[in-house]
Structure formats: C-alpha cells, structure tokens
Amino acid sequence: MSQENKSRQENRRDMMLNGKIHRIIPRLALPMMVSMLINSFYNMVDTYFVSKISSEATAAAGVNFSLMSIITSIGMAFGVGAGSYISRLLGAKRDEEASKTISTAFVLAISCGILLMTFGFIFMRQLVVFMGATPDIIKYSMDYASYILYAAPIMAGSFVLNQGLRAEGSPLFSMIGMAVGGVINIILDPIFIFVFGWGVAGASSATALSQLISFLVLLYPYLKKHTLIRLSLKLFSPTKDILTEISKMGFPTLIRSGLLTVSSIVTNNIAGSFNTYALAAMSIVNRLMMFMGSVLIGFGQGFQPVAGFNWGAKRYDRVLKAFWFCSIVGVVAMAVLCSILAIFAPNVMMAFSDNPDVIDLGAFSIRLNCLAMPVHAWVIVINMLFQAMGRGTSAAILSLSRQGICLIPAVVLMSIIFGVWGLAAAQAVADFMSMLLAVPMLIKVLREIKGLMVAAPASEGPKLENA
C-alpha cells in the first residue's frame, strides 16, 4: 500500500474518532442518502413507466417487489452483518480481520444469489403465484421476474460491497456506484419498454443491466486498493468467529427483510382478493414510501459507522452524542417532508394512474403513512444504534416488530374489519406499535451506555465478542 493511501486511511480513521459529530454524520449521510434516493427513485421510475402500459402491468411490478425484497434480504443480511463487525474491527485497529470479513461475506452473498437464481427459474410460475400474481397478471409477472433473477447474484454481492464502503467511512464510492446504476436504469427504462417494445420485460431488463454496472463501479475501489479493507478470494475465511459476528447482525437483518417480503406477499394476496386496482394502488404506495424511507435509511447509515467506530474505540460519549443528534434531525426532517407529501398525495397518485379508485385508495394510504413516518424515523435510528453496538438480539426484536409482529397481524385484521381501507392503513398502525416496543428497549441501552462512560477509560477498546 502506498504512503499516500496509508495517510488517507489514517485521516479517515481520525475523522471517525475525533471529528465533530454534527459535521461527520451529515458528511457520511449525504452520499448515502443520495445513493438510497437514487435507488428508490429508479424503482419509482420503473413503476411510472410500467403504469403507462396498464394497471395489470403495474400490479405485476408490485408483485415482483417481493422478489426484489428476497434478493435484498440476502445481500443485506451478509452486508449489514459484515458492516457492523467491520466498523468495530476498524475502530479497534484490526484491519486484517476486517478484510477477511468483507471477503467472506462477499463470496457467501454471491453464492446464495446463484442458488436463488437457479431455483427461481425452475419454479418461476409457482414463485409469482406465491408472491400474489392473479391469473390475469401471471404472464406480466413472469416476464418481469426473469431478468431480475439473472441479476440476483450481482445484486446480492453489490449490497456487501456497498455496506463495506459505508462501514469504513467511504460513502462517496458507494454513492457513485449507486448513482451510476440509477441513472442508467432511468435512461434505459423508456428505451427498452417503448422504443424496443419489450413492455414489462423492458423494465426488469433495464434494472438488471443497471445493477451489473453498479456492481462493477462498487468493485472498483476495492480492486484499486482505495479502501481501508481489502477484498480478495484469498481472504475468504469462513471461520467460526467471522460467521458468528456476521450472523449476529446479519440474521436480524435477514429476518427483518424476510418479513418485509412475507408482509409484501400477504399484502399482495389480500389486495388481489379485492381487485387489481387495489393491488396497483398498494404497489404505487409501497414504492413511494420506500422512497421516503430511503431518506431515513441513508441518514441512519451515516450514523451507524460513526457509532460503530467509536464503540470499538470505547468512546461512549460520542456514541451517545451521535444518537441524539440523529434522532432530533431525523424526526424533524421527516415531519417536514411528510407534511408536504400528505398535502399533495392525490396529485402524486395521478402521476401514476388515471383510475379514480387507485388514486383515492393510494392518497388515503399515503396520508396515514405520512403521520407515522416521523415515528418510524426515530425507530430506525434506535435500530441503527443497536446494530452499531453489535446488539443482535435487540436489533432483531425491533426489526421483527415493524415487519412481522406488528405489520402482518395489522394487515390481516384491519383488512377483515375495514376492508381495503384497513389494508391501506395497516403499515401506519404497525409503525406506531413498533415505537411502543422500541422506547423501553432504548431506555435500558442508554442506561448501560451511561454506566460504561463512568466505568471505562476512553482509551481502552471493548471486547468485540461482548459488544
């Protein structure tokens, strides 16, 4: 490694441990927010262009959101699991083990993506029906799914590369990778769908190609050794310690993302039981709220590596300061954004559909979700704190609350009691319920951190296995 790279890396480490919190987190968060927004935006662009084909095509894209969620679950499980551990390792100056961790997670993620692709093609029809495709949209759904499955391995690997860059405090590389892929997808969507006449398959093929290019861009800084951590097949080390640490945070993420998939499938099936228009409306709303949620996740991902670095260095005062800064900024910012979206909810829905039933149901759901999003913002920051500390159990419980314990029963019960309007309100109800669970868990953790601030000198690093 060149002296220039060593100097750059030491400066990056010093920034994470000694820089001003209110400057570091926005500096790290902004690129992540931009990359997450771009990723969500081109998903919305997919939905927009597909909506110009028909309501059935829109519904099919919504069904395949579940497939995207499955791939995301795989990638995020390995990426977040590795990223949380890598931040703590780098804070404790254990760079070699951090490199082994990212390399192991990368190989495992791609391998799982290959398995998913293989089984997905073998059982494609059964897969789309399981995800909620009604008889009139099965063909559309299979067309969309085919190209997404081809991209599954590289999409899973991209999540690991992205999380590794974020964990070491290099969000700019991550942003560039996501941005390039997003721009290419936006350009290719109308060309493939309308100019080439590929229809729904055009949207998914544009997504697959853009994901490949994004993957190559994210891989570049690792190959050129511009990172604190190294990526190499030679460093593939599926040891008990590394797999345990990846699983500690990766498993809660897998459960959370997996339950998101399950809830999406349940929502699709229930919406489809009402009519195709309900399925189309929920598809649009889900993409829109994912766009809003990406702001939260991007901001939270600016907080997590700072908290992880400082937890590894036993700088508990900085962990606490970073948490409260992100909590206040996240809640206030989301309240402002959601107020604007709620006001213009019908107009937003009109951009995706001219059907009055789709517009009315979608606007109703958007407004209820906007009420809950500031609450959700705080819950995300709390969950990021647990992940940064390596508290897998707490993170798992909190993740399970939103996507499973609260959401799935809310979807089922409210659709039975209030019909399609109850279905539209279910996510907002689940968000408020998850907050009620998060608060007592947070109080316990904050008391522990304050105790550690008194008991331990700032110069000593905690034992990672006990973190």
pLDDT 10s digits, 406-425: 888 998 999 999 998 998 89
Task: Write down the pLDDT at residue 459.
Answer: 44
Average pLDDT over residues 372-398: 85
**Gap between the Cα atoms of 10 and 93, Å rounded:** 10
Task: Write down the pLDDT at residue 9.
Answer: 58
- Name the range with the highest mean pLDDT among 19-33, 249-263, 449-463: 19-33
Average pLDDT over residues 440-463: 74
Q: Output 199 or 150, whichever has higher pLDDT.
A: 150
CB-count exposure of residue 190 (10 Å: 0-12, 13-18, 19+): middle
Backbone dihedral angles phi then psi of residue 232, each to the nearest 5 degrees: -160, 145
Pair of tokens at residue 456? 């331990």
Task: Write down the pLDDT at residue 464.
Answer: 43
**Gap between the Cα atoms of 300 and 418, Å rounded:** 34
Residue 40 reports pLDDT greater than 80: no
Task: Write down the pLDDT at residue 70.
Answer: 86
Q: DSSP letter string over 334-347?
A: HHHHHHHHHHTHHH
**Gap between the Cα atoms of 352 and 346, Å rounded:** 10
Q: Classify residue 196: in a domain, yes or no.
A: yes
Look at the alpha carbons of 386, 250, 44, 367 in this order and tell me if their dihedral is positive or negative.
Answer: negative
Q: Classify residue 266: in a domain, yes or no.
A: yes
Nearest by Cα to 249 from 93, 358, 87: 87
**Gap between the Cα atoms of 205 and 408, Å rounded:** 31
**Gap between the Cα atoms of 373 and 37, Å rounded:** 16
Query: How many Cβ atoms sit within 10 Å of the Cβ of residue 464?
Result: 18
Cβ neighbours of residue 393 closer than 8 Å, sequence gap 6 or more: 252
Q: Classify residue 461: in a domain, yes or no.
A: no
Nearest by Cα to 56 from 353, 348, 287: 353
Decide: 313 and 461 in contact? Cβ < 8 Å: yes
Q: Model confidence over 105-147: pLDDT tens digits?
A: 999 999 999 999 999 999 999 999 888 787 888 888 898 899 9
Q: Output 426 or 30, whichever has higher pLDDT.
A: 426
Task: Write down the pLDDT at residue 344.
Answer: 94
Confidence of residue 460 (pLDDT cuts 50, 70, 90): very low
Average pLDDT over residues 429-447: 92
Average pLDDT over residues 334-346: 93
Q: How many domains does the chain have?
A: 1
Instruction: For the chain, give the mean pLDDT.
Output: 84
CA dihedral 406, 411, 413, 416 (to 10 degrees): 170
Decide: 64 and 144 in contact? Cβ < 8 Å: yes
Q: Output 8 or 271, whichever has higher pLDDT.
A: 271
Q: Classify residue 426: in a domain, yes or no.
A: yes
Pair of tokens at residue 329? 């900024």
Task: Write down the pLDDT at residue 199.
Answer: 84
Q: Classify residue 258: in a domain, yes or no.
A: yes
pTM greater than 0.75 (yes/no): no
Measured CA angle at 455 (ends 449, 461), to 5 deg: 75
Of 164-173, 231-240, 365-374, least confident by mean pLDDT is: 164-173
Q: Output 244 or 402, whichever has higher pLDDT.
A: 244
Q: Classify residue 467: in a domain, yes or no.
A: no
| Strands (E) located in 21-165 | none
Nearest by Cα to 395 from 410, 406, 384: 384
Measured CA angle at 208 (ends 291, 232), to 5 deg: 100
Average pLDDT over residues 180-187: 86
Residue 294's domain comprises: 3-454
Q: Classify residue 75: in a domain, yes or no.
A: yes
Three-state DSSP state, 192: helix
* pLDDT above 70 coverage of the chain, percent: 93
Q: Model confidence over 137-178: pLDDT tens digits?
A: 888 889 889 999 999 999 999 999 988 887 887 777 877 887
Average pLDDT over residues 83-111: 88
Task: Write down the pLDDT at residue 465.
Answer: 39
CA dihedral 367, 368, 372, 373 (to 10 degrees): -30
Q: Write the CA distances from 23 to 119, 300, 325, integer angstroms.
A: 46, 14, 11
Average pLDDT over residues 66-73: 84
Q: Classify residue 185: in a domain, yes or no.
A: yes
Task: Write down the pLDDT at residue 2.
Answer: 53
Cβ neighbours of residue 124 closer than 8 Å, sequence gap 6 or more: 142, 145, 146, 149
Pair of tokens at residue 257? 């993302």
* pLDDT above 90 coverage of the chain, percent: 30
